[in-house]
Amino acid sequence: MPESTHCIFCKIIRGNIPAIKVHEDDHTLTFMDIQPASPGHALVIPKTHAANLLEIAEADLLAATRTVQRVARAAQKALAPDGIRIVQTNGTAAGQTVFHYHVHIIPMQEGQRIGTHGRALANPEELKALASQIRDALEH
């Protein structure tokens, strides 16, 4: 599917909206969620627009899945959470709020409230520090 003019994630890919990037390659972009469910919450998106799992091309899905695994491993190494939630929703009823296929990587601690979205905007400096930690773990 072609990029969407009004899609916020397509705007991030084009550089029209800033994001705190963790990883980027030819096919995917990973950035910090600005309203995280927990510290280290990142989003992986394909660079090709597709609204959800039912519409994404197989090659883009495979690229996104590879990136999710790499970033989840790096988050585990960098942040040492008790667990990691991998969440992907399809449609408003399922909780999807941005209609560009994306996967949430959410580091979790024992006893933490389970949610896909946080309730408040995060401190940008804290997000940058967490992104740096995850990025460093990706490179080593």
Q: What is the pLDDT of residues 8-55, one digit of tens each?
A: 999 999 999 999 999 999 999 999 999 999 999 999 999 999 999 999
State the residue range of the domain holding 44: 8-139
**Does this model's pTM top 0.85?**
yes
> How far is CA 113 from each of CA 69, 77, 109, 116, 119, rounded to the nearest angstrom?
23, 22, 9, 10, 12
Given 6, 102, 104, 140, the catalytic residue: 102
DSSP state of 110: T
Q: What is the pLDDT of residues 89-124, one digit of tens each?
A: 999 999 999 999 999 999 999 988 776 677 789 999
Residue 51 in any domain: the answer is yes
Report the domain count for the chain: 1
Q: Which of 123, 119, 117 is nearest to 104 (CA)?
A: 117
We report the CATH number of the domain holding residue 19 as 3.30.428.10
Residue 102 a catalytic site member: yes
